Every structure is written in structure tokens, then in C-alpha cells.
């Protein structure tokens, strides 16, 4: 039995050796020129992002000082406390109304005095109109008498009417004076209304949302500081980072208290260090970043922030690993495994590269099969074979092959 097994093994070995020799020496045989590939992949489409990381701290995005106006009066009452959250329209403090009340009282007194003068003029006008009526009656009677006495004469005597004329002039003067006083009363009404409206201005209201940072009851301006509830990030860049940073660049911010990522942009980047330049220490350059859609409940002041500054990005780019790039004569190539089963060395052009991944701007399409390590290839062109992917093997196509074809492909795969 052992002898039979030995003979079977020897026969099988002979068949393998014979088949191998046949494939090697057969004219146009592919066996001696076929590349066996186990390390390959496909080009992908994705975002290539170049960025650097920095540290920062969460701060309010803005600060609003509130000033005290001494011309409006003295401070009557502060209506908020430090740390209070406020909304637009929240009452902050009020001025005393004593000054306004005094001014209203003065104007009211002057108005009353003017109205008394108008009343006196009205009494005088009543008396003058009575005198005018009497004078006109006397003049009419005098005219009738004179006309009767001279009815037989061709001579007519005309009365001068000095009394009625004098009274009419007095009435006109008094009415003119009354009109002036009435205009003064209207002026006082306007001034009093203006002072009354000032009372509504005695309460200072917030115009912004945020919280009260500081109150100075000693009335040193600003009397109050309001911090915005919108969070921002501040920090410093080192000498290398500040050379890459520019205003408007996108930032991605994370903090340890939440897994959420917050987006924004660099609002300012100082090119002058926060401390006076010195050869004894490294220069650090202040920056600030504005965030979008961030709530103060998630990012409150004082939290340490991890800031990722994106200096350049190429969205939806075709990418390959740097190990797949073949360099020759200052030119770049990729070895493509085409659909004909042949290796194809193709010249490529690359763009942005980050963490071992290159953007291919020309030469490779998305999804093409590429050799990961072209330097390890025996040849850069020609046919190739790869290990069988058992997950994709189907029995039906294999069963449809003839016995000769099955033997041929089995031997080519085994011997390769």
C-alpha cells in the first residue's frame, strides 16, 4: 500500500514538473512572463485635507460696554446682577427722574403763567369791545344830529371817529399779543411732552443677548459689561503655524465635554507676538476663531478647545497611496491593472498630499485597480494574475468548462 502511494506521489510530481516545463518552453506561453500580484488596491474618491492642530480656549465672541450718562440724572437702581443671563430688551438699570421732574415742573409753571396772561388779555379785550360798541353808537348818533341840522344846507360835516379808531387799535394790539402767548403755550406743551418721553429713556435696556460680566456701581465708565452668549475660540500659534494661517480659513473645534464637532473660521491672526520679541523665548501669535451654530450651553467660557485649522482641501479628489507612485526621471507613474488583464504603466500628475495619500489630478480614474508597490514588480508591463477571491467563486461557470479547460486553468494557477 505504501508503495502504491509513493508511486502516486511520484507520478503527480512528474506531471507538475512536466506541465511547468511545457508552459515555460511553449511558444507564446504566458507562464514565464506573468506577474503574480497579491498587494493591490483601487483608487478612491475622497476629500484630501491639509491642516494643522492648535490649542485654544472658549471665550465670548463679543463684549458690549454699557456707559452711564450723567446728563440724564443720577443712578437710581441696578436691575441685574453679575452673571445674569439677559436677552435683548432686558432692563439693566434706571436713572433717577428728579432732574426730569424738576424740568417738567418749571415748564408747567411758565405755561400756567402764560395762560394767566392770556386770561388777562381776554378780559381786556371784552372791555375794549364794549367800549368800541359804545363809541360807535355815540358816533352814529352824532352823525344823525349833524345831518339833521344841516339838511337845508349844501354843506356836509364829517365826524373824525377818533374814539372808535383808538379802541380798534388797542383791540388789534391785544389780539396780537394773545396770539404770541398762545404760541408760547404750544411751545411749553412740546417741551413738557419731550421731558415726559425722557422718563421712558431713564431705563437702560440691553440690545444684545448674553450675560452680565461686570457691574461698576462707582459709576466709572463703562458702568456695565455684557458678554455675548455666542462662543468663540482664542489661542496662540507658534512660528510655523502662523506662517500657514490666514484669516477666513476653516476651523474644526472639539472640546472634552462633548463629542460634537463645531465648525467656524479664523477671524483674526496677529502677525505680532503677544509678548515683546526676544531671542530667549519662542514667539507666540494670538488668533481668534468665530464659530457657527454653536450654543453657549455646549461651549461655555473657559473650556479648553482642540482646534484644527484647514489650510487647503480638495473635495471629491481621486486618491492613491504614496507607495503606489513610481518615480523615474523626475516623473511620476502608477501601474494600472487594466480590464484586459495587463499591467499598464501610466504617467500621472499629483496635487495635494497628506499623510501618505496623494491627490491624482491626471492619469488615474476613480475605482481603477493599481499596484500598491510597483518597485517590487518583476516587470512593469504585461499580464498578471491575482489570488482567487473565494467569496466571488460560483460553481455554475466552473461546471460549464470542459475537462481540458479546467485542467489548463488549474495548472496555470498552480504553477504560477
Residue 169's pLDDT band (boundaries 50, 70, 90)? confident
44, 36 contact by CB (below 8 A): no
More confident residue, 221 or 377: 221
- Going by C-beta distance under 8 Å and a sequence separation of 6 or more, which residues neighbour residue 311? 50, 51, 52, 244, 245, 246, 249
Asked if pLDDT for residue 27 goes beyond 50, the answer is no
List the strands of the sheet with 75-78, edge to edge.
75-78, 91-95, 203-205
pLDDT band (50, 70, 90) for residue 243:
very high
| Alpha-carbon dihedral angle through residues 185, 189, 195, 199, given to the nearest 10 degrees | 150
Taking residues 163-187, what's their average pLDDT? 85
Per-residue buried b or exposed e for 113-132, using 16+ beta carbons within 10 Å of the residue's own CB: ebeeebeebeebbeebeebb
DSSP secondary structure of 121-153: HHHHHHHHHHHHHHHHHHHHHHHHHHHHHTTTS
Contact between 266 and 307 (Cβ < 8 Å)? no
Which pLDDT score, from 0 to 100, does residue 217 have?
77
Q: Does 378 have pLDDT greater than 50?
A: yes
Q: What percent of the chain has pLDDT over 90?
A: 22
Asked whether the beta carbons of 24 and 413 are under 8 A apart, the reply is: no
Q: What is the mean pLDDT of residues 6-23?
A: 57
Mean pLDDT of the chain: 81
Average pLDDT score over residue span 259-284: 91
CATH of the domain spanning 52-60+230-314 = 2.40.30.170
Angle at 254 between CA 251 and CA 258, to 5 degrees: 150
Higher-confidence residue: 222 or 160? 222
Does CATH number 2.40.420.20 belong to domain 31-48+317-415? yes
Query: pLDDT band for position 46 (50/70/90)?
Result: confident
Classify 179 in phi/psi space as left (phi over 0), alpha (psi -120 to 50) or beta. alpha
Alpha carbon distances (Å) from 200 to 81, 100, 112, 197: 22, 11, 25, 6
Looking at per-residue pLDDT, the higher value among 237 and 142 belongs to 237
Distance CA 280, CA 20 (A): 73
Decide which of 1.10.3470, 2.30.230, 2.40.50, 3.30.70 is the CATH code for 63-96+203-226: 2.40.50
Note the pLDDT of residue 392. Answer: 55
pLDDT digits (tens, 9 = 90+) for 191-239: 988 888 777 778 889 988 888 999 987 878 899 999 988 899 999 999 9
Q: How many CB atoms lie within 10 A of CB 258?
A: 12
Averaged pLDDT for residues 180-187:
90
Asked which of 27-41, 87-101, 253-267, 304-318 is least confident by mean pLDDT, the reply is 27-41
Closest CA to 225 of 244, 246, 240, 210: 210
pLDDT at 203: 87
Which has more pLDDT, 368 or 5?
A: 368
Q: What is the model's pTM?
A: 0.56
Residue 245: pLDDT over 90: yes
Name 290's Cβ contacts closer than 8 Å, sequence gap at least 6.
Answer: 61, 232, 264, 265, 267
**The pLDDT value given to residue 160:** 47
Instruction: Please tell me which residue, 264 or 382, carries the higher pLDDT value.
Output: 264
Cα Rg of the chain (Å, integer): 52
Least confident of 160-169, 277-286, 384-393, 403-412: 384-393
pLDDT tens digits, residue range 341-356? 888 899 988 888 888 8
Per-residue confidence (pLDDT) for residue 150, from 0 to 100: 54
The candidate with the shortest Cα–Cα distance to 350, out of 335, 332, 366, is 332
10 Å Cβ neighbour count for 205? 14
Instruction: For the chain, give every domain's residue range.
Output: 31-48+317-415, 52-60+230-314, 63-96+203-226, 99-147+159-200
Residue 416 has pLDDT above 80, yes or no: no
306 has which bridge partners?
55, 254
Looking at residue 267, what is its pLDDT?
Answer: 92
- What pLDDT band is residue 389 in, cutting at 50, 70 and 90? low
Residues with Cβ within 8 Å of 12's Cβ and at least 6 positions away in sequence, in order, are: none
The position carrying cell 460549464 is 400
Amino acid at each position: 500500500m505504501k508503495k502504491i502511494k509513493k508511486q502516486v506521489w511520484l507520478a503527480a510530481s512528474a506531471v507538475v514538473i512536466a506541465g511547468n516545463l511545457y508552459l515555460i518552453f511553449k511558444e507564446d506561453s504566458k507562464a514565464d512572463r506573468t506577474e503574480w500580484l497579491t498587494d493591490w488596491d483601487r483608487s478612491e474618491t475622497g476629500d484630501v485635507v491639509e491642516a494643522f492642530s492648535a490649542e485654544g480656549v472658549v471665550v465670548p465672541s463679543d463684549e458690549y460696554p454699557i456707559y452711564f450718562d450723567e446728563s440724564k440724572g443720577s443712578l437710581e437702581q441696578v436691575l441685574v446682577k453679575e452673571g445674569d443671563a439677559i436677552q435683548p430688551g432686558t432692563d439693566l438699570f434706571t436713572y433717577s427722574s428728579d432732574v426730569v421732574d424738576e424740568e417738567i415742573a418749571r415748564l408747567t409753571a411758565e405755561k400756567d403763567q402764560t395762560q394767566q396772561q392770556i386770561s388777562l388779555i381776554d378780559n381786556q379785550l371784552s372791555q375794549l369791545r364794549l367800549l368800541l360798541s359804545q363809541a360807535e353808537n355815540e358816533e352814529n348818533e352824532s352823525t344823525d344830529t349833524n345831518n339833521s341840522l344841516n339838511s337845508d344846507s349844501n354843506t356836509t360835516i364829517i365826524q373824525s371817529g377818533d374814539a372808535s379808531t383808538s379802541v380798534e387799535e388797542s383791540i388789534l394790539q391785544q389780539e396780537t399779543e394773545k396770539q404770541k402767548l398762545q404760541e408760547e403755550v404750544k411751545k411749553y406743551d412740546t417741551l413738557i411732552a419731550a421731558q415726559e418721553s425722557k422718563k421712558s429713556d431713564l431705563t437702560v435696556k440691553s440690545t444684545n443677548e448674553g450675560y452680565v460680566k461686570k457691574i461698576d456701581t462707582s459709576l466709572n465708565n463703562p458702568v456695565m459689561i455684557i458678554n455675548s452668549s455666542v462662543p468663540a475660540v482664542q489661542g496662540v500659534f507658534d512660528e510655523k503655524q502662523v506662517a500657514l494661517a490666514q484669516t477666513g480659513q476653516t476651523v474644526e473645534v472639539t472640546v472634552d465635554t462633548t463629542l460634537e464637532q463645531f465648525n467656524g473660521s479664523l477671524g483674526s491672526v496677529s502677525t505680532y507676538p503677544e509678548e515683546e520679541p526676544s531671542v530667549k523665548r519662542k514667539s507666540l501669535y494670538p488668533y481668534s476663531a468665530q464659530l457657527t451654530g454653536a450654543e453657549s450651553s455646549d461651549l461655555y467660557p473657559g473650556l479648553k478647545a482642540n482646534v484644527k485649522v484647514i489650510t487647503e482641501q480638495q473635495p471629491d479628489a481621486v486618491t492613491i497611496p504614496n507607495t503606489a507612485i513610481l518615480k523615474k526621471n523626475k516623473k511620476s507613474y502608477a501601474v494600472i491593472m487594466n480590464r484586459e488583464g495587463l499591467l499598464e504603466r501610466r504617467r500621472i500628475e499629483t496635487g495635494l498630499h497628506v499623510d501618505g495619500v496623494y491627490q491624482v489630478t491626471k492619469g488615474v480614474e476613480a475605482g481603477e485597480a493599481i499596484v500598491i508597490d510597483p518597485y517590487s514588480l518583476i516587470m512593469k508591463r504585461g499580464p498578471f494574475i491575482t489570488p482567487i477571491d473565494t467569496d466571488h467563486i460560483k460553481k455554475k461557470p466552473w461546471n460549464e468548462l470542459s475537462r481540458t479547460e479546467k485542467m489548463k486553468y488549474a495548472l496555470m494557477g498552480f504553477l504560477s
